[in-house]
């Protein structure tokens, strides 16, 4: 008997109970029939509950599925340099401590017999460098004298500070990152910037500060509905897919650029390669940059790029500030070559108080703060612990980084 049949049994039980009100004799018969059915229903409910619990994915598997986190094709035990770790150093700065009292036991349960050492700062790593097998922290902390090191779990998504690290490049040290983990929050931030720009909410916010009640003149020329419009997502990685998913849900046509292939999820209408950026950006109403910083993406968005965009289109930078030539963005805004911009990252960063970008028209600036949220830290530690468990067990890893490609 299937779990779906429980509803049928419940209805039958109710029918017997209602029918019993017509006659006491029939009621006796009904009760004799009803009680076994009730007991059977309860038993089946418990069985179905147990089956459902057994089939429900654990938090790590659910996270992998929901965020489409990539898994390495090769098991870690088959990767060069792998060995079962004996000593694991975990960086736990104040803003990274898991939100659970038993977090040390929770991490230890994934580490097997390996010793876990926790530190609060990079300087404390000096005491344990020589015999550290695994480091959970930041990849730019790695130094050549960490001779036993075999794997680094980078807490950041970006690895641009580590691409020239000789230890990571030459000594067969596995590197993983937290790609996709800040995706939901950053995607919501992207959509928020888009709506603030397209609905001119920043204008009304300033009017509120000035205590001015004033409607937009000719709103049909200034306010854009995003339904039916095209968003181009440049960088279809873990975060880019979350942005694309939300834009698609709002009725937008989504195109994307990715470096590796033309394959993409169902909610992306077209995936192009990097050489198609000029043509796809010309068609887009909103261009979102979410690429890692590499040699090919440094200075990618220049005056020629902005002039190629529609004058009614918006540019949003969620990737790295150095991907944009800031003076060219300012010029594009001042000359109305694009309708507006939203940036969570800048070059330089932090942005000095006297920088001309602050005074550019139709721009919203947030201080590289799109990733943190009330749920991000939980996702972060679920991923880190799962990768720890996988590495110790020699299983395929999540979010393996190719430093030579820069992501």
Of 168, 194, 180, 199, the residue nearest 247 (C-alpha): 194
Total Cβ atoms within 10 A of residue 213: 7
Q: Which residues contact 84 (CB under 8 A, 6 or more apart)?
A: 112, 114, 392, 394
Tokens of 356: 């001309």
Buried b (16+ CB within 10 A) or exposed e, 369-402: ebbeeeebbbbbbbbbbbbbbbbbeebbbbbbbe
CA 362 to chain centre: 27
Phi, psi values for residue 334, rounded to 5°: -65, -35
How far is residue 18 from each of residues 70, 107, 299, measured CA to CA in Å? 55, 55, 76
Residue with tokens 């049949």: 5
Residue 368 designated active-site = yes
Buried b (16+ CB within 10 A) or exposed e, 258-286: bbeeeebeeebebbbeeeebeebbeebbb
Buried b (16+ CB within 10 A) or exposed e, 218-245: eeeeeebebeebbbbbbbbbbbbbbbbb
CA 79/CA 174 separation, integer angstroms: 8
Pairing of strands 87-91, 115-119: parallel
Residue 253 designated active-site = no
| Catalytic one of 368, 378, 389, 395 | 368
| Catalytic one of 258, 320, 379, 385 | 320
3-state SS assignment for residue 307: helix
Residue 390 designated active-site = no
Active site residues: 320, 349, 368
């Amino acid at each position: 008997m299937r779990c779906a049949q429980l509803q049928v049994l419940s209805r039958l039980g109710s029918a017997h109970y209602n029918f019993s009100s017509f006659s006491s004799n029939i009621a006796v018969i009904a009760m004799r029939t009803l009680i076994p059915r009730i007991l059977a229903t309860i038993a089946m409910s418990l069985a179905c509950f147990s089956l459902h619990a057994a089939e429900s994915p654990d938090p790590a598997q659910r996270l992998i599925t929901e965020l489409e986190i990539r898994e390495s094709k090769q098991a870690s035990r088959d990767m060069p340099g792998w060995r079962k770790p004996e000593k694991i150093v975990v960086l736990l700065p104040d803003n990274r401590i898991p939100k659970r009292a038993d977090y040390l036991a929770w991490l230890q349960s994934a580490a097997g017999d390996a010793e876990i050492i926790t530190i609060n700062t990079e300087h404390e790593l000096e005491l344990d460098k020589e015999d550290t097998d695994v480091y959970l922290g930041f990849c730019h902390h790695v130094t050549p004298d960490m001779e036993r090191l075999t794997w680094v779990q980078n807490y950041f998504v970006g690895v641009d500070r580590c691409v020239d690290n000789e230890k990571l490049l030459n000594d067969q040290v596995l590197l993983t990152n937290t790609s996709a983990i800040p995706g939901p929050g950053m995607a919501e931030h992207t959509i928020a910037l888009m709506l603030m720009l397209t609905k001119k909410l920043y204008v009304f916010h300033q009017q509120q500060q000035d205590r001015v009640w004033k409607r937009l003149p000719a709103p049909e020329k200034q306010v854009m509905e995003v339904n039916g419009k095209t968003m181009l997502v440049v960088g279809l990685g873990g975060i880019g897919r979350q942005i694309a998913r939300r834009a698609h849900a709002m009725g937008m046509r989504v195109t994307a650029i990715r470096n590796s292939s033309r394959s993409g999820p169902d909610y992306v209408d077209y995936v192009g390669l990097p050489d198609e950026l000029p043509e796809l950006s010309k068609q887009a109403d909103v261009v979102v940059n979410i690429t890692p910083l590499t040699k090919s993406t440094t200075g990618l968005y220049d005056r020629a790029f902005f002039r190629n965009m529609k004058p009614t289109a918006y540019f949003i930078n969620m990737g790295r500030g150095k991907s944009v030539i800031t003076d060219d963005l300012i010029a594009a805004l001042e000359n109305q070559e694009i309708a507006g911009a939203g940036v969570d990252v800048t070059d330089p960063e932090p942005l000095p108080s006297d920088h001309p970008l602050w005074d550019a028209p139709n721009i919203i600036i947030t201080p590289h703060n799109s990733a943190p949220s009330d749920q991000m830290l939980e996702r972060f530690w679920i991923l880190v612990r799962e990768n720890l468990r996988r590495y110790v067990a020699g299983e395929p890893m999540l979010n393996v980084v190719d430093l030579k490609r820069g992501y």
